[in-house]
A and B are shown apart, each in its own frame.
Chain A
Amino acid sequence: MKHLKLTWLFCFFLIVSSAFAANRMPKVLLINSDASVSKYGEVQEAFKEDIPHPVVGVNLGDEKWDMPSVENLLYDEYPDITYCIGSKAYHIASKYIGEKDIVFSSVLNWLRLPLTRKTYGVSNELHAEMQIMLFRYIFPDVRKVTMLYSKRYTQELFKNAKDKARNMGVEIAGEAVFKGRNTISAFDRLPADTDAFWLISDPEIISDKKGLSNILKRCEKRNLPFFSYHEAFVKLGAVLILSVDNPTIGRQAAGIAKRVLSGNKPAKNVEPPAGSHIILNMRKVKAYHLKYNENALGSVNSIVE
């Protein structure tokens, strides 16, 4: 009789605790490397709007969050999932609660991060195919594009881009650089008869200001328009800037977090950004007498006159 009572009691607690667990709101922690950086702020805002759960936030840019207080919070909260914006945030989460699910975004060269099978994220670079499609969309006559790449970071991107570009009638030629030592000679070996130069994000190509300046001077000398990935290049004469749309990254991260929390793991742990941001330098378009697609103007975020 006593055993029967104990069994009933055990079953009762089991049911109550499982019902409680089922209704428990998941704990979502957001660590922002510095919320005062506008792109990080945009990503954070979009994530919070899209995630249907309460989010505890940590802004590492705020002085009150020193390392001991962040460490304490991570152990006290012990969140079900942590969303990290920027690499600093990711490194901290990975160090203290690396055994939990972590989603990252807004990290340059994410392959350098210490990854686990519980790491998910949105990369910070538009997929090569997406970029070529957008070039073609804005500049339908662009047929031959050159680029520099490094074997260490961007060889795969080059191969992939070359392959995908062919489907769009675009020919891509490239030369490999090694730690910025042969950048200029590699550039000089690129075919001269081309429509544009595609300057990609690679620490071995853009190793210093002088190297970058030499590449851009050579573009100018060849009267070669160049496309790039960051709005800072507009001042340096880029014709077109293709970058990521930050709010979309935040929404993608929220989508990944929702799927992981519901037990449906994403097919790929890291996905490329789904939204693009386009800046068109009309001054350079006119200077190079480039023909652009007026119907694509509705897809352009900003025009530099």
Chain B
Amino acid sequence: MKDMIMSYSDLSSSIREPWHMLLFILLSSWTLLLCVAPPATWAESDKITIYSYSSETSINNFKLLKMEFDSYLSRFGPYELQPVKKREDFERYTKGRKDCLLLISSWHFGNIGQTYSLKPALVGLRNGKKYQKRILTGRGASANVEDAKTARIASAASDLHTKEALSEIFKGKDVADRADILTVPKDIDALMSVSLGMCQYALTTEGSLEDLKQVNPFLHRSIKVVAEGRKSLLLILAFPESSGKVRENMMKLVKIVQHMPLDPDGRKKIKMFGLDGWQPFDSSDKLTKGD
């Protein structure tokens, strides 16, 4: 240590000329910058944004998602997440853009995938499964589909998504359009509002009903599944058709997202989207399945 101090003072004493001093400051600053700056350097043009909009929930956790994902993704490069509250805004921001990834529901992907020339990269997993089934539940043995058509239905999904799911269950678009829907932030709210009488039915998923079973088995026993929809894929991470460096950067980010579940911190972040893993999109994957 003493030697080091000595050598530093020797060096200081050897700086006699002003240009020596300038050179010394420049070299020191450069060395400091190399030590502090992240290992990789990137330009603003390399920046990739993941735009997310979920038609499956109405929870206002945008700030949380933005903060958590930005702090995680920025460790790897100029990447960020931009959650969007309204579908119209989401589509306005992303239409025609080549330098972004889109995190959306499979239902939404089915709606805009072709128009936006999107390619699916990853499919979300929950409890190891990539498909979920939408169900209509009511309370008590007398609950039935006919009754649900004129009753109040709680749903966390967007109005459009809910009506499309209901038109499949009610086998008629007109009936679904006339349905009395209460939009709630999340599935567990929808199930509880049936239990507490604010609504008579809830449109949720099998997974949420399973959560209810864990939390309140007593209530779970009183809930009846009156109808089931088709299975649909969970969230999809998609990218617009592009080429060259932009595509290369996007693929890098896809890999980073895909590996998030391998890191405890990354895994915690993707749980905020209700997922616990990813799987590459397979050409045999269908957005919805009949069984």
Contacts and interface: CB of A to CB of B under 8 A. Distances in A.
Interface stretch (B26-34, B167-175, B242-250, B265-273): B265-273
Contacts of A248: 182-185, 189
A168 B274 contact: no
Instruction: Give chain A's interface residue range (CB within 8 Å of chain B).
Output: 20 to 34
Given A129-B196, A130-B196, A245-B184, A275 B189 contact: yes
B192 to A, nearest CB: 5
A286 B271 CA distance: 18
A297 B268 contact: yes
B105 interface: no
Contacts of B189: 245, 248, 274-276
Contacts of A272: 196, 198
Nearest to A136: B215
A251 interface: yes
Given A130-B192, A137-B188, A295 B197 contact: no
Interface string A126-143: 010110011011001000
Contact of A298 (B57, B214, B267): B57
A127 to B, nearest CB: 5
Interface stretch (B2-10, B39-47, B58-66, B87-95): B58-66
A267 B197 CA distance: 9
Instruction: Give chain B's interface residue range (CB within 8 Å of chain A).
Output: 35 or more
Contacts of A274: 154, 182, 184, 189, 192-193, 196, 198-199
A255 B59 contact: no
B142 interface: no
A227 to B, nearest CB: 15
Nearest to A134: B188
A72 interface: no
A168 B218 contact: yes
A277 to B, nearest CB: 7
Contacts of B185: 245, 248, 275-277, 299, 301
B276 interface: yes
A235 to B, nearest CB: 18
A300 interface: yes
Interface in B259-283: 267-268, 271-274, 276
B285 interface: no
Contacts of A101: none
A116 interface: no
A299 B197 CA distance: 21
A94 interface: no
B198 A295 contact: no
A251 B183 contact: yes
A213 interface: no
Contacts of B180: 255
Given A272-B196, A274-B198, A298-B272, A167 B218 contact: yes
Contacts of A183: none
B184 A295 contact: no
Contacts of B218: 167-168
Contacts of A297: 268, 271-272
B232 interface: no
B193 A140 contact: no
A303 interface: yes
A8 B108 CA distance: 59
A302 B61 contact: yes
B216 interface: yes
A299 B59 CA distance: 7
A150 interface: no
Interface in A248-304: 248, 251-252, 255, 267-268, 271-272, 274-277, 294-295, 297-303
A303 B195 CA distance: 27
A164 to B, nearest CB: 9
Contacts of A301: 59-61, 64, 185
A130 B99 CA distance: 43
Nearest to B180: A255
B149 interface: no
A299 B186 contact: yes
A219 B78 CA distance: 44
A302 B184 contact: no
Interface of A: 127, 129-130, 133-134, 136-137, 140, 167-168, 245, 247-248, 251-252, 255, 267-268, 271-272, 274-277, 294-295, 297-303
19 contacts: A129-B192, A133-B192, A133-B215, A133-B216, A137-B188, A140-B215, A168-B216, A245-B185, A248-B183, A255-B180, A271-B197, A274-B184, A274-B189, A297-B272, A298-B271, A298-B274, A301-B64, A302-B64, A303-B64
Given A140-B215, A299-B185, 7 more contacts: A130-B192, A136-B215, A140-B214, A167-B218, A294-B271, A301-B64, A303-B64
In order of increasing CB-CB distance, the 6 nearest A-B pairs are: A298-B274, A167-B218, A274-B193, A297-B271, A274-B198, A275-B184
